[in-house]
Amino acid sequence: VGVRLAAEGATVAACDLDGAAARETVRLLGGPGSDEGAPRGAHAAFQADVSEAGAVRRLLDQVQACFSRPPSVVVSCAGITRDEFLLHMSEDDWDRVIAVNLKGIFLVTQAAAQALVSSGCPGSIINISSIVGKVGNVGQTNYAASKAGVVGLTQTAARELGRHGIRCNSVLPGFIKTPMTQKVPQKVLDKVTGMIPMGHMGDPEDVADVVAFLASEDSGYITGASVEVTGGLFM
Ligand SMILES: CCCCCCCCCCCCC[C@@H](O)CC(=O)SCCNC(=O)CCNC(=O)[C@H](O)C(C)(C)COP(=O)(O)OP(=O)(O)OC[C@H]1O[C@@H](n2cnc3c(N)ncnc32)[C@H](O)[C@@H]1OP(=O)(O)O
Ligand SMILES: NC(=O)c1ccc[n+]([C@@H]2O[C@H](COP(=O)([O-])OP(=O)(O)OC[C@H]3O[C@@H](n4cnc5c(N)ncnc54)[C@H](O)[C@@H]3O)[C@@H](O)[C@H]2O)c1
């Protein structure tokens, strides 16, 4: 997503729980700002745990200090899985997935919206849900609930923030080739790939293309939408 947005001319603030991963993203962007506190206007890397309110507040403060304005586009990608059948799922596995996938998006969306509204700037907030939030999935009561919550949160934010010129949309990817899906048992991967009308898993670039569209003025009259990027899976 960062690479695609930079290719569209964006100056990117990449943030991750894993600061080294964020700095690697910035290196991919070819920016000098591969360390926190990068020169003004360069791409910059930040580290934060999005499930922590204080960390998110500090992140938005750091980004505004670095770029002299709130972010005009905010893409919440952070997410985890702790898959287990409902009958055996631990409270901790439930709590952690909800904390990162849903509360994390609440905290980032709220902090970004507060910064944009107080500065009178328009913006586009894009939250990454999942097709699992629409149809559920065996072994993912926690994850499915978190992703369904992302859609409801984003639709409500769209209703409240439209008057401020801030659009809020959800993207619902299907099976995409990333480290997250590498943990899925092969027999499940084989099963689901056969169910995808386009016959193959998607690539991160397929999601990034839709994010770039929702970030741009080409989607200027779209808010509250849920855009599925699934190869037709569960259409
Ligand atoms: C008829 C097949 C339909 C397959 C539909 C799959 C839909 C998946 C769509 C997801 C797209 C978006 C995903 C995206 O948001 C990113 C992710 O979330 S990636 C992670 C997705 N996670 C899963 O799909 C869960 C995978 N399953 C597991 O991790 C394990 O099975 C676990 C739940 C931890 C249980 O492990 P355990 O070792 O106790 O059991 P088994 O792995 O041996 O499984 C027992 C039987 O259950 C079947 N199974 C497991 N998961 C799924 C599943 N997601 N869908 C359907 N069936 C599943 C597994 O095949 C075994 O069946 P059998 O006994 O007949 O071999
Ligand atoms: N891969 C798929 O098939 C798929 C499908 C649908 C939705 N998604 C969603 O897409 C998003 C990106 O996932 P991915 O597939 O790239 O997985 P990934 O595991 O490769 O990336 C997730 C990133 O989130 C970061 N992260 C985890 N916890 C964090 C926290 N508390 N604070 C800040 N960062 C944190 C991780 O360090 C990692 O870099 C996730 O929200 C995921 O749920 C993925």
Low-confidence ranges of the chain (pLDDT < 50): 33-34
What pLDDT does 141 receive?
A: 98
What pLDDT does 30 receive?
A: 78
For residue 227, give both structure tokens.
């855009």
What pLDDT does 82 receive?
A: 98
Mutation to probe ligand 2, out of 17, 60, 192, 193 (largest number of atoms < 8 A from CB): 17
What pLDDT does 69 receive?
A: 95
Question: In angstroms, what is the C-alpha Rg of the chain?
Answer: 17
What pLDDT does 161 receive?
A: 98
ipTM exceeding 0.90?
Answer: yes
Task: Summarize pLDDT for 91-100 with one digit per residue, the tens.
Answer: 999 999 999 9
Task: Output the CA 49–ligand 1 centroid distance in Å.
Answer: 28
User: In degrees rounded to 5, what are phi and psi of residue 127?
Assistant: -110, 130
Pocket of ligand 2 (CB under 6 A): 16-18, 21, 49-51, 77-80, 100, 104, 128, 130, 173, 175-176, 178-181
Residue 204 CA to residue 232 CA, distance in Å, equals 16
Residue 143 designated active-site: yes
Which residue out of 143, 167, 173, 207 is catalytically annotated?
Answer: 143
**Nearest bound ligand to CA 207?**
2
Distances (CA, A) of 213 to 51, 146, 157, 221, 235: 27, 24, 19, 12, 21
- Contact, 86 vs 141, CB < 8 A? yes
Task: Summarize pLDDT for 105-120 with one digit per residue, the tens.
Answer: 999 999 999 999 999 9
Task: Output the CA 98–ligand 2 centroid distance in Å.
Answer: 13
Give 132's contacts (C-beta < 8 A, 6+ positions apart). 140, 143, 144, 147
Question: Is 84's C-beta closer than 6 angstroms to any atom of ligand 1?
Answer: yes
User: In degrees rounded to 5, what are phi and psi of residue 78?
Assistant: -55, 135
Task: Output the CA 137–ligand 1 centroid distance in Å.
Answer: 8
